[in-house]
Amino acid sequence: MKQEINPQECGRAEAFSMWMSSPQPMVTVVKTFEVGRLRKVSRKTGIKFNVLLCWCICKAASSIEEFYLLPEPGHLYRYDKLAVNVIVQNAKGGITLCDVPYSEDIRQFNADYLQITSQAARTCQSTSLEDAMIIGTSALPQTELDMIVNQYSGRWNNPFLAWGKYRKGWFKTTLPISMQFHHAQMDGIQACRFLNNLQEEMKIPRTL
């Protein structure tokens, strides 16, 4: 459910007044993660690496209040559930966007992810969830990347995470992930808490 709230009656009052009128309110932070466990779980369970990572992103965000807030010009909205947006290559060679609802049940999330993304790729039609706070993602596994800085158009103020190909080493596998967020939505302290949560969520049991 989407509900408008008064920015002056929540913990984001000062940030909202400072950053909603800023021409560049977005902040980008980058953290390198150890993703060896996710690779092993992916091989063990057959669940795609990207599915596991998107699920961990939502789970890490689910305990942070600010991730349920969406600032828009003159307005602040609160949602009661999360979803992740993924980009798929479609049958026409272009890209299609689709929203996948977050479920604490990884099997349910995986089933929804596969059904929604395969349909989007086949039909070339984007899908959206209006009643969920969307966390944007973009995966570019074709090459290793140090970081990605997304453009800011003012149209979407949702948090956005992006990554390239993971790096396999002798003793660990690493992946730099860029996170962009609107400063009216959260401060660096919440972003850092999320990134720390994300590393912990990647320690999921191999058997699920």
Q: What is the pLDDT of residues 98-114, one digit of tens each?
A: 999 999 999 999 999 99
The pLDDT of residue 207 is 65
Evaluate whether 185 touches 12 at the Cβ level (below 8 Å): yes
The pLDDT of residue 150 is 81
Q: For the segment 118-155, what is each residue's pLDDT rounded down to a tens digit? A: 999 999 999 999 999 999 999 999 999 998 888 777 77
Q: Considering the chain, what is the average pLDDT of its residues?
A: 94
Among 3.40.50.720, 3.90.1720.10, 3.40.50.300, 3.30.559.10, name the CATH number for the domain at 24-201. 3.30.559.10
The pLDDT of residue 58 is 98
| Residue 162 clears pLDDT 80, i.e. is over it | yes
The pLDDT of residue 206 is 64
Q: Using the 8-state DSSP alphabet, how is residue 94 labeled?
A: S
Q: Which residue stretches of 33-178 are H helix?
A: 36-45, 49-61, 106-123
CA 135 → CA 13, 27, 186, distances in Å? Answer: 22, 15, 14
The pLDDT of residue 151 is 75
Q: What is the mean pLDDT of residues 27-52?
A: 96
Evaluate whether 164 touches 148 at the Cβ level (below 8 Å): yes
- Distance between CA atoms of residues 31 and 29, nearest Å: 7
Q: Give Cα 180 to chain centroid, integer Å.
A: 10
